[in-house]
A = this chain, B = another copy of it.
C-alpha cells in the first residue's frame, strides 16, 4: 500500500461561535473531529462502515486519550492527522496529532477501536480484514492508552443526569461527546478559567440509552488527577475517565 494512504489529514479553523467560555476549542468538538477523521480514513482504507457491515460488524471506540500542550484557540487554523499504529485480531490502535498552523504540534491522541457484531453485540475477529498489516504506519505517537483508569474511591463531586433525545446517536446509544461534556461538567466554569486540560483519558465499558438516569461521581486524588465514573441505575459502569490539568 502507498505510504501516502496510510496517513490522513483534515484542516480546521475555530470560529468564534464554536468556542468555550475560555475562547478555546471545546474538548467534545475535538473528540467529534477525531472520530470523524478516523471514520473518513477507514473509508479510504476500505475498512469503513460499508465494508464491515458486509460481515454485520461495526467499529466501536473502546478508549481514547489526549495529551495537550494547549487547545486550539479562537480563529486559529489547526489540523488533525491520523494513522494506524497497530492491528491485531482483537483491536486496532489509531493515533492522531493536533497541529497549529503557527505553532506546530499542540497535542497527541491515541484511540483503541474494536469491531462488534451489530446483532449479537459480541466482538468481531479482525482477521476478517485482509492485508491489515499493510495499513500500519511506523510513525511514533508519544501517548499511550494502555493503562487502566482507576475508578473513583470517594465521591467528592456527584451529579445525576437523565439521557435525553439530543444525546443519542445513529446507533441509538449516547454519543461520545455527551459523555465528554458530562465529565467536564463535574468542575465549575471558573475552574477552567484558571486551569487548562493537560491529559484526558476515557474508557467505554457499557452503552448508555435514552431515558436512563446515571450517576456521575468524581474523586480528586492526591496527585492532582480527577477520576470520574458514569454509572447506571444497575450500578454498571458506563465509562471511566481521568483528567489532569495545568495552571494557566
Contact = CB atoms under 8 A, between A and B. Distances in A.
B169 A17 contact: yes
A166 to B, nearest CB: 4
A26 interface: yes
A18 interface: yes
Contacts of A26: 166
A165 interface: yes
B20 A170 contact: yes
Interface stretch (A113-121, A130-138, A185-193): A185-193
Contacts of A210: 21, 188-189
Contacts of A189: 165, 168, 172, 210-211
A181 interface: yes
A168 B18 contact: no
A86 interface: no
Contacts of A16: 39, 49, 170
A47 to B, nearest CB: 14
